[in-house]
Amino acid sequence: MKRLNSRDPHFTEALRQLHDWDANLDPLVENRVREILAAVRERGDAALLEYSARFDGLHLETAAELEIPRRDWEEALAALSAPEREALEEAAHRIRGYHERQKLESWQYREADGTLLGQRVLPLARVGIYVPGGKAAYPSSVLMNALPARVAGVGEIHMTVPTPRGEVNPWVLAAAAVAGVDRVFRLGGAQAVAALAYGTELVPAVDKIVGPGNTYVATAKRMVFGRVGIDMIAGPSEILVISDGSAPAEWLAWDLLSQAEHDELAQSIFIAWDAAHLEAVAAAVDHALSQLDRAPIARQSWQERGALILATDAADACRIADGIAPEHLELAVADPEALLDKIHNAGAIFLGIHSCEALGDYVAGPNHVLPTGGSARFSSPLGVYDFVKRSSLIGASAAGAATLGALAERLARAEGLTAHARSAAARIPGH
């Protein structure tokens, strides 16, 4: 864990090093992914079966076995205890409710001469959701990726999840049932992305692929971008907590570690302007670390990537946070709304000491798929808007075409584009 002080003359550089994170562009990984994409594209299901045997230790005889039938998800859901099932369904209900507010409507207007202009919004036809296996197999991820697509009105939602040696997380299947996913395939890695992008006999090609994954998955998504849509290239998860000391140090320690326990590369940053409070939180983190199921992961994350920053005051803390553009920002202060104007870049903003990130991860309603690695400067939480597409509508009346045609002709001539000019001019009567 690093200790920084914003009064330090080298603070800016130290801060840059702390949060500088570049998307992974390893040429060796790229070459392997390129091979996998080409193999699946050319040989379809046969290649999928080979990769599943090689990478997942999964020896299947027919491609059909790559699909996990709906009765398996329904059984997984039925096997949950009542409180577990209630928590999953209530989370889904709240996520759905929040995302309903993100719906976009088509619009159009008519000008005085009868010309119609507008924008039509339609859901995507088919979407693929990549769900990681292993230590990052989270049912909440299934809800957060599938429900906005469902709210958007997407026709078909297909999910892929790797099942190493056949192991499948029953919570993930239960979440697929709750979220209303249409089909589930036991596929992971670049080959899952390839199947979704190009389609095979078993797996239909989709229009967009969303969901987090390791560096192979991220590289594959980057490579198929253009043929299909992708959500974002997710980096490690981050939390940044700004505290005025209103919350007990212990609460803040759990908050910081709820990020660190995700992944060794996850980053937890704590900013305060009271040095004694900073030390109290540092001590609370040390104490809390030993109580975690995933203590080794959290400890490594906190030691190597964590930071305690002493700022001069609340405004300074906000300035620092804004430069980092964190995925999760907790304003653990008595009057969070007073700081909101000073913050421009953050995926999700948690207001006040009762708003811990864990609420947002599961049940508050907003999406937990958020821009990482500073990309909150330019991108947004996953939302309904990611599962629709827009078409412009241009319906020129005869009179409108004459007026607009004269202008278009002039500009087309300036660009040396004769056919454009003639096409516009043809609609002007007597031209």
Binding to its own copies, residues 267-296 (CB under 8 A): 288, 291-294
According to the binding rule CB under 8 A, does residue 389 interact with its own copies? yes
Instruction: Select the residue interacting with its own copies from 131, 173, 223, 240 (CB under 8 A).
Output: 223
Instruction: Select the residue interacting with its own copies from 9, 62, 392, 430 (CB under 8 A).
Output: 392
Instruction: Select the residue interacting with its own copies from 6, 163, 219, 355 (CB under 8 A).
Output: 355
Report yes or no: 369 and 363 within 8 Å, Cβ to Cβ.
no
Closest residue by Cα to residue 286 from 255, 245, 257: 257
Q: How far is the CB of 395 from its own copies (least distance, A)?
A: 3
| Contact region with its own copies (CB under 8 A), list: 47-55, 69-77, 276-284, 347-355 | 347-355
What residues contact residue 22 under an 8 Å CB cut-off, 6+ apart? Answer: none
Q: What are the catalytic residues?
A: 327-328
DSSP run (H or E) holding 118? strand 116-123
Binding to its own copies, residues 37-56 (CB under 8 A): none
**Token pair listed for 425:** 């001019």
Closest residue by Cα to residue 360 from 390, 331, 337, 403: 331
How many of the chain's residues bind its own copies (CB under 8 A)? 130
According to the binding rule CB under 8 A, does residue 429 interact with its own copies? no
Instruction: Select the residue interacting with its own copies from 162, 188, 213, 360 (CB under 8 A).
Output: 360
**CA–CA separation, 347 vs 5, rounded Å?**
25
According to the binding rule CB under 8 A, does residue 397 interact with its own copies? yes
| Contact region with its own copies (CB under 8 A), list: 3-11, 19-27, 178-186, 276-284 | 19-27
Instruction: Select the residue interacting with its own copies from 40, 88, 146, 177 (CB under 8 A).
Output: 88
Closest residue by Cα to residue 68 from 175, 211, 214: 175
Which residue has 């202060």 as its token pair?
333
According to the binding rule CB under 8 A, does residue 301 interact with its own copies? no
Q: Is 262 labelled as part of a ligand binding site?
A: yes
Q: Is 290 labelled as part of a ligand binding site?
A: no
Degrees (nearest 5) of the Cα angle 242, 247, 253? 70
Binding to its own copies, residues 137-156 (CB under 8 A): 138-140
Helices (H), ranges, 113-242: 139-152, 170-179, 189-198, 215-224
Q: How far is the CB of 182 from its own copies (least distance, A)?
A: 17
**CA–CA separation, 167 vs 118, rounded Å?**
50
DSSP run (H or E) holding 33? helix 27-43
DSSP run (H or E) holding 357? helix 357-362
Q: How far is the CB of 318 from its own copies (least distance, A)?
A: 13
Instruction: Select the residue interacting with its own copies from 44, 132, 229, 306 (CB under 8 A).
Output: 229
Nearer to its own copies, 66 or 332 (CB): 332
According to the binding rule CB under 8 A, does residue 326 interact with its own copies? no
According to the binding rule CB under 8 A, does residue 319 interact with its own copies? no
**CA–CA separation, 150 vs 176, rounded Å?**
12
* Number of Cβ atoms within 10 Å of the Cβ of 389: 15
Instruction: Select the residue interacting with its own copies from 84, 182, 264, 279 (CB under 8 A).
Output: 84
**What is residue 271's three-state secondary structure?**
strand
Q: Is 216 labelled as part of a ligand binding site?
A: no
**Token pair listed for 7:** 């009064």
Binding to its own copies, residues 156-215 (CB under 8 A): 171, 207-208
**CA–CA separation, 345 vs 328, rounded Å?**
10
Binding residues for NAD(+): 130, 191, 214
Binding residues for substrate: 237, 259, 262, 328, 361, 415, 420
